Amino acid sequence: MANHALSKLEALDKAQAYCSRAEHCAADVRRKLYEWNVDATFFDFIEQKLREDDFLNDARFCRAYVHDKVEYQSWGRIKIQAGLRALQLPESDIREALDNLDKETYVSNLRSLIVQRKSDTPDKRLRFLLQRGFTYKEVKATENNALTAH
């Protein structure tokens, strides 16, 4: 059977199903609509309807993104912020999500990364941690305690 073009409502249904499985942002949804060959003139309608029905929520997405990047990938706030900005999310939602990140897990992740890289030269370890998105100030404040404790 040949692929037929999705109608506006079929595309909306498919987008709702996509959003119900996990948190997504508008950029993710638009990328999927494009992949599904949905007529581009439907994109704004679908995004608006998804927002109205709370399938898309920027603040909720930012909180989930921050949680997942800290919890599962041990990213620092700079890298997380850059990732959210790349998705063109509102600065206020990004700032709020970062302000409410789990600080204990965040510092624990930083300590673990420092200990894992203790055999590296200080400069190499610092470069690695900065690339992970931690600030120089965070690294220096945590480094001495982490290295002397292990």
Report pLDDT digits (tens) over 91-146: 999 999 999 999 999 999 999 999 999 999 999 999 999 999 999 999 999 987 77
pTM of this structure? 0.90
What pLDDT is recorded for position 1?
Answer: 41
- Confidence check: pLDDT of 2 > 50: no
**pLDDT (tens digit, 9 = 90+) per residue, 15-66?**
999 999 999 999 999 999 999 999 999 999 999 999 999 999 999 999 999 9
Q: Which positions ≥6 away from 80 have C-beta within 8 Å?
A: 65, 66, 69, 70, 98, 133
Rounded distance between C-alpha atoms, residue 6 and residue 15, angstroms = 11
Which pLDDT belongs to residue 146?
A: 74
Q: What size, in residues, is the chain?
A: 150
- Mark residue 136 as left, alpha or beta (left: phi above 0; alpha: psi -120 to 50; beta: remaining): alpha
The whole-number pLDDT of residue 68 equals: 97
Give the model's pLDDT for residue 118: 92
